[in-house]
Structure 1
Amino acid sequence: MEFLESVISLIITLGILVTVHEYGHFWVARRCGVKVLRFSVGFGKPIFSWHDKLGTEYVVAAIPLGGYVRMLDEREGHVPSELKVQAFSSKPVSQRIAIAFAGPLANFIFAVLAYWLMFVLGFSAIQPKVGAVIDGSPAYEAQVPVGSIITQIDDEPVHGWRDLVMGLVNYIGDTDTVSLTAQVDGVSKQFDVELDKWVAGEKEPDLLRSFGLEPFKPRIEPVLDTIIEGGAADQSGMLSGDIVRVADGVEIDDWYQFVEIVQNSAGQQLIVEVERSQSPGLVALKVVPEGVESQGRLVGKIGVGVEPYKYPEELIVQVSYSPLDSVGAAASQTWSDIAMTFGAVKKMVVGLVSLDNLSGPITIARVANQSISTGLEEFLRFLALLSVSLGVLNLLPIPMLDGGHILFYLVEAVRRKPLSEKSQLMALKLGMSFVFMLMAVAFYNDIMRL
């Protein structure tokens, strides 16, 4: 069932973003007088199609991993003399660049709209209150105090832990200073955190922990709720409603205490004693946590969840803006995402960010499913960030992508004549090889994360 939900979520997510991207090409092509032959969402065999009064065929195809807009073009076949004026190849360089750039631009505009809607509707966030500072970490050296609430990173507002983590992404691999503003006992203070080639080249680094901060966690009663069928907890005989009292000889007073013991015991047998309704005394159970690789280390998991809990009301803030203020907030967030994505690509090229962090459709499907399940705010945020990523990646100067076409047209503008077909074909083959190699790495990473 989860697999089916993930597939549906992938189709919905990519369907929206691909349609937006291709519509950008389509809309500008039409405004430039180019005849559009086909607008396809997806590749492969058409599931259904229709034509408009101008003769454009609209297609929804079977493989939802992309799309394309096919235009009348003399390079792809014979064009009747009376239609040559409508051919893409007959248009000036400036218009061809505009058509190529329109797809990524549509993705950026869509991200602004998604963020605008998110800010107008509003959302809840848990204030980033520091629960612990890890000894010897950058935050520890900067003397960031336990109990402080982070409010800004480099003058950018921080509403919750997500905002702080996204701000830290910009510093991966850097030797630099991060400026944090925090509320300490009601007083705003600034802390300059020094980084030295921070998490450079690490596989799926835990940015918050590497920075040295652990979120404040409210005390949670260790009452079991969800038991995953077939998991280690289920096989040991644990039941929903059990209260964990002892694990590995240690008295358990808090859920996170139990989680830490389980995570540190991958592949090792634990004796867990639980308090069970209508059972005299404690019930002793033997469980062996399954070892799962997470953020570069092996952690134990037993397939169990805790009863729902709530954070203190004073830590929960409601974030919303007026429709007018949301425009500025959405544009600023989109610009930050664009800069972050370009920066990550650059660092990946020079080796500061590991290729292990590349994600493909399997990861996108899982995250899409989680975001849809969580709520509209999460889905809008995910759509916006993925839309920006799609726009940025398509602007890379790689033949086969929009950026590669733009590069060809700029060279043509400088030379006052296009590159030879042989040169373009060779560059296209190299570009396709590079893109397919990245796709293979992304698929491999997806599979290794399963």
Structure 2
Amino acid sequence: MLFTLIAFALAIGLLVTIHELGHYWVARRCGVYIERFSIGFGKVLFKRTDKNGCEWALSALPLGGYVMMRSNVPADAPEMLKNTAFEYKTLRQRAAITVAGPLANLLLAVVLYALIGVIGSQEPAAVLGQPTAQSIADYAGLEAGDRVIAVDDTAVLSWPQLRWQLLDRLHTGGEVRLSTQSKYGNQAEHVLQLPATSLDPDGPDPLVATGLTIATPTPFVRETVPNSAAFRAGLLPEDRLLAINGVEIQSAQAFVETIKPLADQTIQLNIERQGQPLVLPVTIDTHLDDQGHAVGRIGIMLGARFEMVNVRYGPIASVQQGLSRTADTFWLSLKMIGRMVTGQVSVKNISGPVSIADYAGQSARIGLTAYIHFLALISISIGLLNLLPIPMLDGGHLLYYAVEAITGRPVSDAVKLIAQRIGLGILAALTMLAFFNDFSRLIN
């Protein structure tokens, strides 16, 4: 629990600080006087005033931060003082300062995705398992062992990339072309006719519903039992188990079930050791099970792992991937919000701080790359949320400025007050919904 809370606080603290730094940086360049930049809220634990008069503070509650700009300067104040106040800046300057926070979050996501591309990440290969009979994948002619190399001419390197490319199409439906390479090296194209699917986090996986599943992880030897059949045959830890008497092994469980009726028989076991294929003769031992029946055992502790690929790009390609992934995620998230409004997507997809904290802890436990992925996704979410035209958010202020640009005069304080109440009501409702979804997931 403590680890999860630390991972969550670190993520939110970093992302909100970057957001506020965006506002700060542009405000300074527009000549706005910054009174305080606080990392966190509440009681100030440490503060320092720089040469420009800005107080940099570290506060007790590290879940965010804020920038306090000079404002509410009287109309009869000296011109020099007015020139340093936010409300006396031009429309373009005020809009630039406002939009800088969300853009900083989006830029951070580009940097994080690019960083992942440079350092590389180990991801499951986009190798398919056996399609469900009479499923969409089955009708398209896909087979177990097919490796997906492209979706509609977009290259795919891993299973997560395949899921990402299909996510939007799984909801809208339509025709999708998969380019594949069989386990024998033959390349082919398959056309999937996907029906429109409701994306409900409590419902079945829409990808599995099409018959597309990841290949069963390959069984391997974790450890051999001393003086067992495997030990005598020369099996070693990390040997991959490929086939018995020429019949491919589909899973660890299938291997166990195949061995059971072969007591006292000698089999030809195909394995892979350090990338090299080998065939070992193994004479299976006989053991009595709990019912006293003779069953075959060879004496190994089995493991299973997915085929992994190292997804890595050069510096330029990593930046391109960062830009593309950020833009795609932003656009897809925006479309999902629109579909929630129209009822096409379940509002159960909205997550609150409890779920986000849980994801923060899980991703941090998996490793640095997974945590960076999480940071990039949440950074995009913060940027998008703040651009929504809801009063009290950056997007609400941008809406005021748009009205001002059209009408030639600022939105009145009375209208802003009414809009703020509406915005507060919307945000309160969304917060309650998010918490409800969070606790529903915990209960279920």
- TM-score class, shorter-chain normalisation, is 0.7 to 0.9
Cα distance in 1, alignment partners of residues 48 and 388 from structure 2: 33
Of 5, 8, 18 in structure 1, the residue corresponding to residue 6 of structure 2 is 8
Contact 1:10–1:364 (Cα < 8 Å) also in 2: yes
Deviation at 1:107, TM superposition (A): 1.0
For residues 71-82 of structure 1, the aligned pairs below 5 Å read 71-74=69-72, 80-81=77-78, 82=80
Of 352, 376, 384 in structure 1, the residue corresponding to residue 344 of structure 2 is 352
Tell me, what secondary structure is at the counterpart of 1:405?
A: helix
Of 371, 380, 388 in structure 2, the residue corresponding to residue 379 of structure 1 is 371
Cα deviations by residue, 1:34-69 (Å, 9 ceiling, x for unpaired) = 111222233333343332222222233344443322
Tell me, what secondary structure is at the counterpart of 1:327?
A: helix
Aligned AA for 1:382?
F
> What's 1:94 paired with?
92
Cα distance in 2, alignment partners of residues 348 and 424 from structure 1: 27
> What's 2:410 paired with?
418
> What's 1:145 paired with?
143
Contact 1:129–1:149 (Cα < 8 Å) also in 2: yes
For residues 424-443 of structure 1, the aligned pairs below 5 Å read 424-443=416-435
Deviation at 1:353, TM superposition (A): 1.5
Cα distance in 2, alignment partners of residues 58 and 14 from structure 1: 19
Tell me, what secondary structure is at the counterpart of 1:341?
A: helix
Aligned AA for 2:336?
A
Q: Is residue 186 of structure 2 the alignment partner of residue 154 of structure 1?
A: no
Cα deviations by residue, 1:158-216 (Å, 9 ceiling, x for unpaired) = 22221122222223531322222221342332222222221255645423213321211
Q: Is residue 113 of structure 2 the alignment partner of residue 115 of structure 1?
A: yes
Contact 1:127–1:316 (Cα < 8 Å) also in 2: yes
> What's 1:266 paired with?
none
Tell me, what secondary structure is at the counterpart of 2:188?
A: strand
Tell me, what secondary structure is at the counterpart of 1:213?
A: coil
Deviation at 1:282, TM superposition (A): 5.4
Contact 2:37–2:57 (Cα < 8 Å) also in 1: yes
Contact 1:219–1:255 (Cα < 8 Å) also in 2: no
Which structure has the larger Rg over C-alpha atoms? 2
Cα distance in 2, alignment partners of residues 256 and 442 from structure 1: 43
Cα distance in 1, alignment partners of residues 159 and 50 from structure 2: 48
Contact 1:199–1:205 (Cα < 8 Å) also in 2: no
Distance of aligned partners of 1:377 and 1:201 in 2 relative to their CA distance in 1, 3 Å threshold: closer
Tell me, what secondary structure is at the counterpart of 1:215?
A: coil
Deviation at 1:149, TM superposition (A): 1.0
TM-score, normalised with respect to structure 1: 0.76
Distance of aligned partners of 1:145 and 1:310 in 2 relative to their CA distance in 1, 3 Å threshold: closer
Aligned AA for 1:419?
V
Distance of aligned partners of 1:408 and 1:283 in 2 relative to their CA distance in 1, 3 Å threshold: farther
> What's 2:283 paired with?
none
Contact 2:170–2:207 (Cα < 8 Å) also in 1: no
Distance of aligned partners of 1:369 and 1:208 in 2 relative to their CA distance in 1, 3 Å threshold: same
Aligned AA for 1:44?
G
Deviation at 1:383, TM superposition (A): 1.2
Q: Is residue 192 of structure 2 the alignment partner of residue 193 of structure 1?
A: yes
Cα distance in 2, alignment partners of residues 355 and 64 from structure 1: 29
Deviation at 1:308, TM superposition (A): 5.6
Cα distance in 1, alignment partners of residues 439 and 199 from structure 2: 24
Distance of aligned partners of 1:40 and 1:154 in 2 relative to their CA distance in 1, 3 Å threshold: farther
Distance of aligned partners of 1:205 and 1:30 in 2 relative to their CA distance in 1, 3 Å threshold: farther
For residues 157-196 of structure 1, the aligned pairs below 5 Å read 157-184=155-182, 185-196=184-195
> What's 2:46 paired with?
48
Aligned AA for 2:194?
L
Count, aligned residues: 374
Q: Is residue 334 of structure 2 the alignment partner of residue 330 of structure 1?
A: no
Contact 1:124–1:316 (Cα < 8 Å) also in 2: yes
Distance of aligned partners of 1:87 and 1:257 in 2 relative to their CA distance in 1, 3 Å threshold: farther
Cα deviations by residue, 1:257-306 (Å, 9 ceiling, x for unpaired) = 99xxxxxxxxxxxxxxxxxxxxx96579xxxxxxxxxxxxxxxxxxxxx9
Tell me, what secondary structure is at the counterpart of 1:342?
A: helix
Cα distance in 1, alignment partners of residues 420 and 219 from structure 2: 57
Cα deviations by residue, 1:137-166 (Å, 9 ceiling, x for unpaired) = 332333322221112223332222211222
Cα distance in 2, alignment partners of residues 165 and 61 from structure 1: 41
Cα distance in 1, alignment partners of residues 206 and 60 from structure 2: 38
Tell me, what secondary structure is at the counterpart of 2:328?
A: helix
Q: Identity over aligned residues, as a percent? A: 38
Aligned AA for 1:402?
D
Structure 2: stretches of 5+ with no match in the other structure: 223-250, 257-286, 292-300
> What's 1:277 paired with?
none
Of 403, 407, 430 in structure 1, the residue corresponding to residue 399 of structure 2 is 407
Cα distance in 2, alignment partners of residues 394 and 256 from structure 1: 51
Deviation at 1:394, TM superposition (A): 1.1
- Larger mean Cα displacement after TM superposition, 48-57 or 379-388: 48-57
For residues 247-286 of structure 1, the aligned pairs below 5 Å read 254=252
